[in-house]
Amino acid sequence: MPRFATSWIFILFFLLLDFYVFQAVKTIAVQWPDKLARRVFLVYWMISVLSLGFFLSMFFISFESWHKLLRTYLFATIVGLFLAKFLSGLFFLMDDLRRGVQYLAGIWMPSVKPAEDGEGVSRSVFLSWVGLITGGGLFGSLLYGFGNKYRYTLKKNSLHFPNLPSAFKGLKIIHISDIHSGSFTDKEAVKRGVAMIQEQEPDLILFTGDLVNYKADEMEPYLDLFGSLTAPHGIYSILGNHDYGFPDRKTSDNLVELHQKNAAAVATMHERMGWKLLRNEAVCIEKNNDCIAVLGVENISAKVGFPSYGNLSKTWKGMEEIPFKILMSHDPSHWKAEVTKQYKGIDLTLSGHTHGMQFGVEIPGFRWSPVKYVYNQWAGLYEEGDQRLYVNRGFGFIGYPGRVGILPEITLIELV
């Protein structure tokens, strides 16, 4: 379906949703003073019209010319409003279905009268309030999350591997992922995150992809910050799906060529920072006549729609006899799809990609995010047999300029 036609379908859905939610607002406003109700209705439709106008203007205005902060927050706020209304609408639908069942039951069984709501708040008013409060809570949490996007947290993990060479006992690895430099708007805040990495005095730093959003030059303002990182055993990195860019398919039939061109430009950024980019390659880290292997593959995904240029078979060659192996693979779906099935000799896999969806709940004993319905391994540590996977929640952010419940992460892994 043409993009323009798809957009108009979305606009129609947006309008229908606005009218649907408005019916619930009217339901709970019945008992309000007329003056208050009119003001609420006016504000509701002003916000709805402005939101729809912004969406329509995207067909005629180049938003690249808008100030980055304004563009980012305005778009996120409008999407947040849409999601809040959609969530509220689910509760209103429950009430409409309930009333529909009662209506049909009255036709089929006229002798059976539906239960009356009685005194107090009716079921319809109650569900309307629940829907509006739930949607409002979602919208409020998204606004609150704007302030969390640079609230870096340090996640510490001590991992024991019986086959780890003795010289590497106590090795401190910093794992970071998903920098997404194109989303940054506060260099001083990013600087604090970089300083937190260096404060851990890591022996080895591993970055698991998505340096940029779309274009290599997004990293230019931050080269000095990330280029200041040091570790005795070096800094190694890989490419993520965003590092290949998202070129317009109309510009060329050879999408692979465009992907590789963008990846080459991103690779230059890694080189300028002094990071060793592994593109289906492996290196040996040596210490006191012992060694461990660090393998890095280009993006490999078991999910449809993501570029897959990785080749673990090629990366594995020559590393078979190394006693301990760490794999960097951006997309955690790769772990179950190939690593645990065919490469039992890989002890630890490090991934990113999911960001924990930048939205969820993490409290002792309970962890949830909508992304879990797409990725079985979406944040933190996972085990299968003797193999481990750690999924970093991401240093940066993309799309939604915030974090709710799932904070930006710097991972410290100590091998013991």
Same domain, 51 and 164: no
Percent of the chain past pLDDT 70, that is, above it, reads 92
Helix or strand run (H / E) with residue 56: helix 34-57
> Are 142 and 166 in a shared domain?
no
- What pLDDT, in 10s, does the model give residues 311-346? 999 999 999 999 999 999 999 999 999 999 999 999
Q: Which long-range contacts (CB under 8 A, 24 or more apart) does 296-299 make?
A: 296/236, 296/237, 296/238, 296/327, 296/328, 297/238, 297/327, 297/328, 297/329, 297/334, 298/238, 298/239, 298/263, 299/209, 299/238, 299/239, 299/240, 299/241, 299/243, 299/244, 299/330, 299/331
Q: How confident is the model at residue 416 (pLDDT cuts 50, 70, 90)?
A: very high
Examine the fold and report which residue of 128, 146, 164 is the final residue of a domain before the chain moves on. 146
At 352 the pLDDT is 98
CA–CA distance, 74 with 28 (Å, rounded to integer): 29
Q: Crossing angle of helices 3-28/123-145, nearest 10°?
A: 120
Question: Of 63-67, 187-191, 229-233, 405-409, which gets the smallest average pLDDT?
Answer: 63-67
Q: pTM of the full predicted structure?
A: 0.88
Which CATH number covers residue 183? 3.60.21.10
- Asked if residue 189 and residue 131 are part of one domain, the reply reads no
Domain match, 256 and 375 both: yes
What beta strand segments (E) does 280-341 contain?
281-287, 290-296, 325-328
pLDDT of residue 6: 61
With contact defined as beta carbons under 8 Å apart, do 384 and 347 qualify? no
Q: What's the sign of the alpha-carbon dihedral 241, 243, 246, 252?
A: negative
Q: 327 and 354 share a domain?
A: yes
User: Do 179 and 325 have their domain in common?
Assistant: yes
Domain tally, the chain? 2
Domain of residue 31 covers 3-146
128 pLDDT band, cuts 50/70/90, is confident
pLDDT at 252 over 60: no
Same domain, 141 and 184: no
Shared domain for 208 and 306, answered yes or no, is: yes
Tell whether 61 and 193 lie within a shared domain: no
Q: What would the mean pLDDT of 382-405 be, rounded to a whole number?
A: 97
Considering the domain architecture, whether residues 101 and 211 belong to the same structural domain is answered as: no
pLDDT over threshold 70, residue 5? no
Give the domain-ending residue among 146, 180, 210. Answer: 146
**Final residue in a domain of this structure, among 146, 172, 189:** 146
Cα 305 to Cα 241, 301, 302, 308: the distances in Å are 10, 9, 9, 9
| Mean of the per-residue pLDDT values of the chain | 91
Question: Does one domain contain both 276 and 389?
Answer: yes
Residues 139 and 186 in one domain: no
